[in-house]
Chain A
Amino acid sequence: MAAKRSMDELRERVVLGEFGVRNVHTTDFPGNYPGYDDAWDQRRFEEAFRVDVVREEDGVLEFDMVGIDAAIANAFRRILLAEVPTMAVEKVFVYNNTSIVQDEILAHRLGLIPIRADPRLFEYRNQGDEEGTEIDTLQFQLKIKCSRNPQAAKESSDPNELYFNHKVYSKHMTWVPLGNQTDLFPDADFRPVHDDILIALLRPGQEIDVLMHCVKGIGKDHAKFSPVATASYRLLPDITLLQPVEDEAAETLQKCFSPGVIEIQNIKGKKVARVANARLDTFSREVFRHEGLKNLVRLARVRNHYICKWLIFCRAESPILLCANKRRPASMCTLVSVFHFSLASLVFPCLYSCGELLRLWFGAALG
């Protein structure tokens, strides 16, 4: 019984010791544990797998993925960061830039602005194609000139009063349809995701007149194409009290963990500690600094339970998706469509490799 329990712990928990971490790697492969059937079983996986959404707000998606291995969860994270396409400014044609910001710095900043455009509506630009066509390019214009306000008070030193258009925001970027884009996207609203990104500061007489070409790209090429601010996950914490902890020790124990993790109950007049919500803990390992407490607690993480947090820019918003669903916040469609992409990116290369392999094998079998 004890042996089985320790084997289960080996398989299911990553244990945080005082000076190191144990049972880090996945070991549940066929043949490693006698008495366990570890061969891949799609049905067993589907029964055990579930997704619980904790929070879906504008720009943040927090959810739990349970029953999946690190290799695959990490693959999703990597795909989200590097291989989900978005649209971003690639070429900046500078007609006039008399501002204090140099051309190349301005172009760099414009490239990093997230654009609200569904990349599925566009193709990738062909290599070596300098001009770009209407199927692979989105054009924006930024034309702004700063002037003095004649109505400003004489003694005022506040730039907001003295000048017009002295702050260039991303809301000043306007979409300029190319070719037949007005017919293709009649209801489209292509603009930067955020209106209040400060691009440059101007003074009277300075102006910026640039034309920008946005293309479709992936994060691997340049980080500006990454749809997420960040995509991270952590394993679910699992705190077990190996012995009952009472009175003063209970108070100290409660202080060792993040607020809300340990709760003190009053049982028959004595204060007894109990693990209320291990999920809130950030594992500072403060408990190992107390001699009397360090052997009473086992800190571990559940190996196949991922608490994922994706911070996504609301970029990939398909107008079609939006029309189909007006009630839910737009970010949600985005987040799901992003996940849709990421899985497609993993599934289709596999399918493609499968096809390649079959072709290879077929060729080898023939001759």
Chain B
Amino acid sequence: MAESGERKAALEMVQADGTDGNCVTFVLHDEDHTLGNSLRYMVMKNPDVEFCGYCITHPSESKINFRIQTRGSLPAVEPFRKGLNDLMGVCQHVLDTFEVRLLPEELRSFLDQERQRTFDAESLIAFSGILCLTLV
């Protein structure tokens, strides 16, 4: 693991022995209420979720424990991923609405082009991830 400029894990999963993936605690590093509370809200909106909560373990450390418990046998990773996707959808829609309201036409089209160029890289990674998943 000796890379120059070591990359820390952004996310860990902690699962108690003996349970079957229904109740999982995700440890998100370098996060705080900004992502924690908004993600908690989106995950709570999922009817399959029995419990969802987050806490900041200590104010001196910037990490949060994010716990999800699902009803039935749904693995807890599912609502977590859905919550992240839904949150992205919300942010994207808010951005679109904002741009429609505030920007004049020519600026909006210019920004769309620029965003398309930078977004392609990230969406490629995500898309390839999803592709691998469907292949498995």
Which positions in A face B, CB cutoff 8 Å?
26, 29-31, 38-40, 42, 45-46, 49-53, 56, 63, 65, 68-69, 71-72, 74-76, 78-79, 82-83, 127, 320-321, 324-325, 327-328, 332-333, 335-336, 339-340, 343, 346-362, 365-366
Contact in complex: A49, B81 (CB < 8 Å): no
Q: Per-position contact with A for B9-21: 1 when CB-CB < 8 Å, else 0? A: 1110100000000
Q: Are A336 and B102 in contact (CB under 8 A)?
A: yes
- B11 pairs with A39, CB closer than 8 A: no
**Residue contact B106 to A325, C-beta cutoff 8 Å:** yes
Listed residue (A63, A76, A347) with the most chain B CB atoms within 10 angstroms of its CB: A347
Chain B interface (Cβ < 8 Å from any Cβ of A) = 5, 9-11, 13, 28, 31-35, 37-38, 40-42, 44-47, 77, 80-81, 84-95, 97-99, 101-104, 106-107, 110-111, 122-123, 125-126, 129-130, 132-133, 136
16 A-B pairs whose Cβ atoms sit less than 8 Å apart in the complex = A40-B45, A72-B38, A74-B33, A78-B34, A321-B107, A327-B104, A339-B95, A343-B98, A349-B31, A350-B85, A351-B126, A353-B11, A357-B11, A357-B77, A357-B84, A358-B130
Most buried by B among A72, A320, A328: A72
Q: B91, B92, B103, B110: which has the most chain A beta carbons within 10 Å? A: B91
Q: A46-B93, A49-B97 are in contact. Are A83 and B34 (CB under 8 A)?
A: yes
Cβ-closest 8 pairs across A and B? A40-B45, A71-B41, A358-B129, A30-B47, A75-B38, A343-B95, A71-B37, A78-B34
In the complex the two chains form, is A350's CB within 8 Å of B46's CB? no
A348 vs B125: C-alpha distance in the bound complex, in angstroms? 12
| Chain A residues near B10 (CB-CB < 8 A) | 352-353, 356
Contact at B34–A346, with CB atoms within 8 Å? yes
Of the candidates A42, A79, A335, the one whose C-beta lies within 8 Å of that of B102 is A335
> Which partner residue on chain A sits nearest B42 by CB separation?
A40
State the CA gap A148–B38 with chains docked (Å): 61
Among candidates A40, A51, A79, A321, residue contacting B98 with C-beta atoms closer than 8 Å: A51
Q: Give the nearest-CB partner of A343 in chain B.
A: B95
Q: Are B102 and A332 in contact (CB under 8 A)?
A: yes
Interface of B is mostly: helix
Q: Quick check: B91 and A347 within 8 Å, CB to CB?
A: yes
Give min CB distance, A44 to chain B, whole Å: 11
- Nearest B residue to A42 via CB reads B89
Given A358-B133, A365-B136, 7 more pairs with CB closer than 8 A: A49-B93, A50-B97, A83-B34, A353-B84, A354-B88, A354-B129, A358-B129
Contact B34 A30 (CB under 8 A): no
Task: Name the residue of chain A whose CB is nearest to the CB of B50.
Answer: A31
Contact between B81 and A357, CB atoms less than 8 A apart: yes
Q: How far is the CA of A222 from the CA of B91 in the complex (A)?
A: 26
Which partner residue on chain A sits nearest B114 by CB separation?
A320
Given known contacts A40-B46, A350-B88, is B11 in contact with A336 (CB within 8 Å)?
A: no
Q: When chains A and B are docked, how far (Å) is the Cα of A70 from the Cα of B67? A: 20
Which B residues lie within 8 Å of A340 (CB)?
95, 99, 111
Please tell me if the beta carbons of A72 and B41 are within 8 angstroms of each other in the complex.
yes
Nearest B residue to A335, CB-CB: B102
CA A52 to CA B85, docked complex, whole Å: 26
Bound CA span A346–B122, Å = 14
Alpha-carbon distance A6/B102, docked complex (angstroms): 37
Residues of A with C-beta under 8 A to B125: 355
